[in-house]
Structure 1
Amino acid sequence: MAWNGRLQPWFDRANFVIKPSLKTRLVLMSLFVAALPIALVSFMLEHEGQETLTAEKTDKLFALTHILDEELGPGGFDGLLADLPSGTSDRAAAVRYLNGKLRRITDEVAHADPGVGVGYYSRKLDAIISYGPSEQYGGTVGQSITAGHPGREVLDTGNPKIAYGSMVRGQVLNAMLPIKRHGEVTGYIWANEFTEAVERQKDAIREAVGYGVVAGLLLALVATFFTSRGLTNDVNLIIRSLDQMKADLRVTVPPMKNELGDIGNAINRMAQDLLDARSLTENVLSSVADGIIAVDLEGNVLMFNPAAEDLYNVAGKDVIGRSYQELFEERKGMASVMLDTLKTGRSHIGENLEIASLGSDRKITASSSVLRNGEGQWIGAVVVLKDVSERDRLMGQVMRADRLAALGELTAGIAHEIRNPLTSIRGFMQYLSENNTVEEWREYAPLIIRQVDNLNHIIEGLLVFGRPWPPRIARVQLNRLVEEMAFLTKGKSRARIDLDLGDDVPVIDADGEALKQVLLNLLINALQAMGDEDSGVVTVSTRRKTDEVMIAVKDNGVGLPDKFKGKVFDPFFSTKPAGTGLGLAMVLRIVDAHQGTITFESKEGVGTTVTILLPVARKSIEETVS
């Protein structure tokens, strides 16, 4: 018997799951798992760093504007212009005067923080008053800002503003503070720094974060590598053990730690269970008396138990893995059942076969079906071969014994039925032999004739029962026949006969006269079972049952005790004092001749139901009653 082939798919599935590069997948997965949070953290750090840098620059620049605002004094530009010498009231002179007052302040602030530019702008004069450091930006004094300059928004709204962009100095981060005196915006103060310097600081943050990300990924890679190496070593050990289990289930996975150790223990337990199951199944298959053969989808032999070896007179080891059809096609009938199932998927139950084996003819019954795996997939076919030679021989002996017993009962019944009239005739003749008067002959002669008629009636019944006769098949309207027989028997009892006839009962192939005899016997028996009681009811029903028709005769009479139910169709069995016991026996023969079936159900004190099923069309009109 080949078991490794049946276990192979399970091992293949296990290897399919494990064989792809586990180490590579673990490294990639770990890198992904590590890189995602590192990337998110680095992005957040960079974003937060840039936001912090921007906020720090903004706070510093606005702090410088506030210093310049305090240095301007409470009077603002107007307070300083109050000291302007009389006679110099033009715009240029005012700008030069204010510049002289404020240039020192803006230069000091600018020089204190290299890279920063600061200054004042007058709304009334619409001009830059001072821009420090003056040695670089003094030439801008007196210029007006453009219409789109962010300073215009500060002058109009009176709200501080921080802006990136190209301004008088170039690409700068510019903090602008409105100059408010007596509730009026008289100008604004700015402090700015080149964005290039800001970007350099942001790049420094990005670089630091980048180094951190790389370092984190390298650490994760190293940790993953060493972890995965140990893990894959354990997994490879499990794989090697599984490969060895294909050939020998006694191989075990070595002990390991952690969850892989639990997996190894589970595999070992499963292998032991498979080994136990295989041993049990092999023992069962080896011990069973029926031959069992299994083939795969290609028709190659998977299993060949000892009983099959005996039937085929061949060793199982010589046929495992070889083509079943090539090996046994010369064995008449043996290959067709299973190979037909393998080809069509159709099961066979109890097919009778005969093979020549070991010099004697053996009768075999074969039952085949599709072979499926645990997932329900079709993987082959299996056949069970049962040697019924001895069973048939014993059944033949039993049947002969039954026939002899039935013949004995029939003989005893005939002897009993004939003995009573013969005894009466002998008694009458003995009496008449001693009395020679004509009157006595005239008195007893009719009695003797009646007894002879009884004998003749019994003999005629036996002749009819025992003589084969061909049914005269014709097309019969069953419902019409039932109505006719019910009408003929109505007057034989005070009981009522009800008809429940199906509308769809078809015309059938049958011997109408024989069926009339069947119905007449059943109706008379039903009426006699109820006597002359007015409450008696006989119901005759007809129905169509696919390819058959049903006739049921039901009464509510006295019923039959259980001890008599098995004898109702036996010849000469009758519960009626004057009955011959041939009526139901003849009914059974007629129903059998019509290829039908009859059932008898009775309950004492409740009633009896006789049900007959007849085919609508006979299989062969030429058949005769045997």
Structure 2
Amino acid sequence: MYEMRRSYQHNLLLGLSDMPGGVSIATDVTCQKIVHNPVAAQFFRIKDCENFPYTSLCSMSVKIFQKGKLLSPQEIPIQRSARCGDRITGAELEFVWPDGISKTAIWSTSPLRDETGVIVGAVATFEEVTGLITKTQELDAQQSQLQEMVDERTKKLRQEFEKRQSIEREIAKLERLNVIGQLAAGLGHEVRNPMTTVRGFLQLLQNKNELHSYKNQFTLMIEELDRANSIIREFLSLSKNKPAVFKRKNLNQLITNLFPLIQADAYSQGKKLVFEPGDIADLEIDANEVIQLVLNLARNGLEAMPQEGCLTIKTFMDEEYIVVCVKDEGTGIKPEHVLKLGTPFFTTKENGTGLGIPICYDIAEKHRALIDIETGVDGTTFFVRFPKPKVG
């Protein structure tokens, strides 16, 4: 019987020796003796590849991994087929030798049975895919690197696109302001002169006894003329041709001089006004324009508050800036409106012109100052940050 089995296994090896793939045959169920065809012998780094060299699982110094897990001898596919009769197909195994050499192959194993059906060993066939795995890993690395390059380039393009959009918005804004300035310069003086004449005649008629019954109507017409004149004055303030006159001034002194005017506005509306001057340095500024800026912010703050609200104007200095802070106790500005504040004609007021805040931004730009806004349900604060003067 033993000779018959040996002859059967030998004939099987002879039949498989010319196969292009690797073939290993366990000649007993304990896998103590495994013979290899030339392809398998070369895979296992067996120098003597003739006469079907023998190896033993016990004598093999190679470690076998499947999906990163080190297999015990009982888990090796050829062992499972020889001992348990398992049929295994397409198992990807990695073989690692002590010197660091690693090889990967796709294995299939089946039990070998004699003519009576008794398991007498196992046969394993495999195709080495080490090169394919390495190539796949290289391609994955290249693809990952390429994806990183594409992501980085996409990020830069997105940033450039957003930057370009921002610049285009600023250019459009400046163009609108220039158009407004040209319109103001062309029409302002022409319109104000006849309006002044009409206002004078209305005042004259208002004081006539025979027209006393129309006094309220005359008052309303004069107020409307004054409102129109105020709008024209704001148009003129946006004129880019208006030269700025810079002189060294102290913001505290300017606001102190302006305080009675703002206080009168606050008093007439039933609101409070507080000025908290800090210790600040002098600045090179156009006094009239900065007064206009503070006045616009203060009046906006007063209009945003209910009665008994308090408007606070503060000045202070940090490491980089001299700051004017105007804080109201209104209900805050909606997030969708904050980004539109510098846009000419944008207003949420029923009788507003939408020019007050654009004028502030224009004045700040001339002084290289920044305007920051903090807003919430407890009110809104405008910070106007003037660069500190250089020492020396």
TM-score category of the 2 structures, normalised to the smaller one: 0.3 to 0.5
Query: Which is bigger in relative contact order (C-alpha 8 A, separation at least 6)?
Result: 2
Q: TM-score scaled by structure 2?
A: 0.47
Q: TM-score, normalised by structure 1?
A: 0.32
